[in-house]
Structure formats: structure tokens, C-alpha cells
Amino acid sequence: MGFFKDLGEELENAIDRGAKMIDEAGFNSKINDKRREIDKVEEELGELFYKAYKDGEDLSGIGAYLFKKIDDLYVDIEKIEAEKEAAKKS
């Protein structure tokens, strides 16, 4: 009977490890989504600045809302990473 008990425990551990890997993959996917969103905003910001530069505009106030959006996305990434670490510990 000890063999089957050990086998059952090993299967349970394998299932738990698999579930944690799936959770981690989900967190990583969310983080990657946010990073892709940052890339898009940075591209939009670059286009905005270049157009303003070409048009001879004052660049001092341009893009503030995009800077804020990038900052917000980095905060989102930090939160997701914290959730990921908390999930690893549970």
C-alpha cells in the first residue's frame, strides 16, 4: 500500500506544479501584453514628436498624456509581477 500512497502523493505534487506553471504562464502573458502596449504607445509618441518637429511646433507640452499612459502600464506590470510572486508562494 505504501507504493500507491507514494504514487498518489507524487501525482498530486505533479498536478500542483503543473497548475503553478499554468498560473505563471498566464501572468507572463499579461506582462507581455502590457509590454507590447508600451511599445505601441512609444511608437505613437515618436510619431507625434517627429510630426511636431517637422511642423516647427514647440515640443515642450506634446505627448504628456502618452507619458502618463506609459507610466500607468509600467505600474500595471509591477502589480502583475507582484501577483505572480504571491501566487508562487501560495
- Residue 30's contacts (CB-CB under 8 Å, 6 or more residues apart) are 80
In angstroms, the CA 87 to CA 59 distance is 44
Q: How confident is the model at residue 70 (pLDDT cuts 50, 70, 90)?
A: very high
Whether residue 79 is predicted with pLDDT greater than 80 in this model: the reply is yes
- C-alpha gyration radius of the chain: 23
- Grid cell 506634446 is found at 62
Q: Which pLDDT score is estimated for 1?
A: 58
What is the residue extent of each domain of the chain?
2-89
In angstroms, the CA 27 to CA 7 distance is 30
In angstroms, the CA 75 to CA 71 distance is 6
pTM: 0.69
Mean pLDDT of 20-28: 82
